[in-house]
Structures are given as structure tokens and as C-alpha cells.
Amino acid sequence: MAKTYAKPGILEQLRADYFSNKLDAAMTLVFGTLVIWVVWNLLGWGIIHAVWTQENREMCGHGGDGACWAVIDARWRLILFGLYPFEEQWRSAIACIAIITVGILSCVPAFWHGKKLAALWITGFAIYYVLMRGGVFGLSEVSVQDWGGLSLTIFVFAAVTLLGMPTAIIFALLRRSDLPWISRTMGLIIDSIRSLPLLSIMFTFAVVLPFVLPSWLPTEKLYLVVIGYALFFACYQAEIIRGGMQALSAGQEEAAKALGMSYWQRISYIVLPQAFRNALPPTINQLVITFKETSLVVIIGFFEVLASGNAAYGNSDWNFAHIEVYSFVGLIYFIFVFSLSRYGAYLERRLAVATR
């Protein structure tokens, strides 16, 4: 008679996984208790004893055993929209949703064609700009200096990535040029920019550059900072892409050459798709870092979501509620970073079929 596999019962499985010997059992008890204690306290603070609405705000801060989410109820618009004029904040909301929608759509494989992506992003940024800036279609004009909150964070991130990614590809291709003077010069540029702190690059682009640039060029600080940041991003991402290219066997390009494919055909159909697949984990990593470091635009006086959060509790009414505000901002960051990482995992699964 053939043997059959007997699935272990739950108790047996628990015993095997967590209580297999004395040390194992002891560690399970210690860490299990710790986890339960932390979760219980968080639940108690964040949900059970929490104050949720402004009407109950006088209950905040007394007894001190619950979170005061009333601060979010009162100040969420400041956190999400910064200094943007209160009456016009619906524009900022729609603009933000437009960019996020475009971002999500461009993650869908059906949109992975150069022309579709270009059309998508041009539309997205056009909607964003018209809504945020105003001055047309009867919308009142809002100065770029007043853009802020989550809308600004998303805009900086999207613009940096979108400008930075094609630049990174070009940098990576120049870096591996057959002509030594091109590849070495590119290497020198990449190394120089990577050796500078992002903060100093942003400062230089926003504050110093306007004095140097000819007067007919736009000198809006926000755009200059985005360009500087994109350059910084491109240098890191170029090395990530180059790493992905190096993992390709020389035979791939040779096969494409032997089929008569031109340089750009080889790059866009054979080299880059495989390089990006190889470089997916570090690319997602770089995007996460880039998203978080958008908070540095505060040094040139822009109130992105973190700085707006600082402002939200920075008055006498709410100055005790910084933990709640930071938790809320942290949650926003987490939602974006977690989505990025899940998307990365999806891409890895999708591409895994073709890797074996």
C-alpha cells in the first residue's frame, strides 16, 4: 500500500515551530509576551482610549492614556494642503488625485508603451499645473510658493522620478560607451554628484543658481530644486541600471546585432527590459528613498507634508499633540512606501516567468 502524507495537526505544528526545545520555548514566551504587550498598549492608546473629534477635544491631554486624534480632525487640511488658500483646497486635492491616478495607471502593464506613458504624464502634469497654479478658466491664481502639503510631496516625487529616470538611462548608456573619453567623463560626473549631499544640491539649485542663470530662464525655486533633485536621483539610478546591464550576458547583444537590430532597437527591446528586471529591487529601494527625501524641500521654504505636519501642531492649541501628528504623517508615508514595495513584489512575480 502506498504511504500517504499525514498533515500535522495545529498543536503538533505549533510545537514544532515554536516549542521544539527549551530555548525555543523560552524565546517564544519572552518575545510573545513582548509583542502582546506592545500591541495591547498601542491599541489602548491609539484606538480604545483615543479622542476622535474636535467636539471632545477638552478630553485630550487629561489622564494622558489615549491618543488625541482630534488634532487630525482639526488640522488635516493644513497637513494635506499646506499653505494653499483654504477656499481653493479642493483644487489641490483634485490635482493630487490626478497625479496619483496617473502614477497608478502607469504601473498597469497595458500602459507600458512610450507614447501612452508620455500622453498620460503630460496630461497628468497639465491638470496638476492648471489646477494648482490657476489664472485660467476662472481659477484664481495661486503662487507656487503657496503650494504645499501632500500635493507638493507627490508633485516633487513624481516630477523627480519622471525627469530622473530617462536621464538615468542616458547616463547609464553614456557610462558604458565604447569611447573611453565619454564613459570616463560620465563616470566622473556621476561620482562628483554622488559625493555631494542632497541638501547642498537643493540649496545650490534653488538659491545660488538663479544668480548665475541668464535672466530669461525661469527661476522659480521649486522647479530648480526639482531639476537638481532629478539630477541627483539620475546619478544613483544610472549606477543601478548599469548594474542591471552588467548582469546580461554579452550573447544577448550579440544575438540582437546578428539579427541586424540597430543600437536603439537593441537597447530598448533587449538590454533595458532585462536590465530593469535585474535591477528591480534596488530601483524600488531608490524610489522609496527618493519619496521620503522630498521632505528636504523644506530648507528652501516649501511646506511639504512633513513640514505642514510640524505647522499643524505648532500652535498653542495643539502643541501637545506632536506624536499624533507624526503618526498620521507616518501613516501617509507608510501607505505610499508599502504600495511601492507591493508593486515591486508584483512585478517580480510577473517577470519571474521569463527568468527561469
Contact 108, 141 (CB under 8 A): no
Question: What number of chain residues touch another protein (CB under 8 A)?
Answer: 23
Specify whether the backbone of 134 is left (phi greater than 0), alpha (psi in -120 to 50) or beta: left
Least distance in angstroms from the C-beta of 109 to another protein: 13
Contact residues for 270 (Cβ-Cβ < 8 A; gap 6+):
252, 253, 255, 256, 261
Site for another protein contains 252 (CB under 8 A): yes
Which of 137, 136, 149, 155 lies closest to 98, judged by CA? 155
Residue with cell 564613459: 183
Stretch touching another protein by CB under 8 A, among 63-71, 144-152, 264-272, 292-300: 264-272
Site for another protein contains 270 (CB under 8 A): yes
Least distance in angstroms from the C-beta of 312 to another protein: 47
Contact 74, 54 (CB under 8 A): yes
Contacting another protein (CB under 8 A), which of 123, 145, 177, 262? 262
**What kind and span of H or E run contains 82?**
none
Site for another protein contains 281 (CB under 8 A): no
Least distance in angstroms from the C-beta of 279 to another protein: 13
Site for another protein contains 218 (CB under 8 A): no
Stretch touching another protein by CB under 8 A, among 61-69, 73-81, 220-228, 255-263: 255-263
CA 241 to chain centre: 18
Contacting another protein (CB under 8 A), which of 249, 315, 316, 349? 249
Site for another protein contains 355 (CB under 8 A): yes
How far apart CA 181 and CA 204 sit, in angstroms, is 28
Of 21 and 355, which CB lies nearer to another protein in the complex structure?
Answer: 355
Looking at the chain, list the stretches that DSSP marks H as alpha helix, in order from N- to C-terminal side.
10-18, 22-43, 70-81, 89-105, 114-133, 149-175, 180-194, 198-203, 209-212, 221-246, 250-258, 263-265, 272-278, 280-293, 305-313, 322-352
Contacting another protein (CB under 8 A), which of 277, 293, 295, 307? 277
Of 139 and 261, which CB lies nearer to another protein in the complex structure?
Answer: 261
Contact 150, 217 (CB under 8 A): no
Site for another protein contains 346 (CB under 8 A): no
How far apart CA 151 and CA 255 sit, in angstroms, is 46
How far apart CA 145 and CA 159 sit, in angstroms, is 17
Least distance in angstroms from the C-beta of 245 to another protein: 14
Site for another protein contains 59 (CB under 8 A): no
Contacting another protein (CB under 8 A), which of 39, 259, 289, 335? 259
* Surface-to-core class of residue 112, CB atoms within 10 Å of its CB (0-12 exposed, 13-18 middle, 19+ buried): exposed
Stretch touching another protein by CB under 8 A, among 5-13, 106-114, 258-266, 306-314: 258-266
Site for another protein contains 350 (CB under 8 A): no
Contact 222, 302 (CB under 8 A): yes
Site for another protein contains 1 (CB under 8 A): no
Site for another protein contains 28 (CB under 8 A): no
Residue numbers at the binding site for another protein (CB under 8 A): 249, 251-252, 254-262, 265, 269-270, 273-274, 277, 351, 353-356
